[in-house]
Amino acid sequence: MGKVFHVDKQIANKNVEDSITEWTKVVKYGDINAENRLFGGTLMAWIDEVAGTVAMRHSGNPIATAAIDNMQFKQGALLGDVLVMIGKITYVGKTSMEVRVDTYVEDVKTGMRHVLNRAYLTEVCIDHDGSPCTVPYGLNVKTENEKAEWEGAIKRRELRKQRRMEGF
């Protein structure tokens, strides 16, 4: 078993694969802009839903999105394209979790997937009053990829702190 990453007072640990979430969507008329491409805001909303689902599955609690980092569009999506969004947890802190969501355009004839977008979201575990609370589960980091994601999340967290201090 790999190294266990957790915060004091968390009662147990879960694995990354325990909360992986995959959504499939077809780009429809209501999802496109004037150029017949997927509206970026629609994709952002879908990504937010995927990340929220991952965080709720990991924590077992309600969550709120605190930040969306590193939203990079590698290509566009067109009317009728099949999109696949895969979310997984990358980091667990005291009250927050980081979730990575990768979005692909899938060629339905070949099954090949081409990267459309990658985003990192910070989700905060909240109680029933809407106040931040401790994430009840830590995270078992078992593979080299999972360890690299964890370490990257720590760097992204520090960058967010620095931006807040600078007024952004």
Domain CATH code at residue 145: 3.10.129.10
Confidence check: pLDDT of 4 > 70: no
> What pLDDT score does 102 carry?
97
pLDDT number for residue 7:
53
Which residues, in sequence order, are bridge partners of residue 36?
A: none
pLDDT over threshold 60, residue 8 = no
Looking at the structure of the chain, the number of domains it has is: 1
Q: What is the mean pLDDT of the chain?
A: 92
User: What's the one-letter identity of residue 143?
Assistant: T
Residue range 154-163: mean pLDDT, rounded: 92
The per-residue pLDDT for range 71-95, each reduced to its tens digit, is: 788 999 999 999 999 999 999 999 9
Q: Which residues pair with 37 in a beta bridge?
A: 78
pLDDT at 167 over 90: no
Check residue 2 and give its pLDDT: 45
Q: Worst-scoring range by mean pLDDT, 21-25, 53-57, 147-151, 156-160? A: 156-160
Is residue 23 helix, strand or coil? Answer: strand
Which domain range does residue 149 map to? 2-164
Residue 10, pLDDT > 80, answer: no
Token duo for residue 17: 């694969």
Cα(40)–Cα(38) distance, rounded to whole angstroms?
6
Instruction: Please tell me the distance from the alpha carbon of residue 118 to that of residue 86, in angstroms, as a whole number.
Output: 10
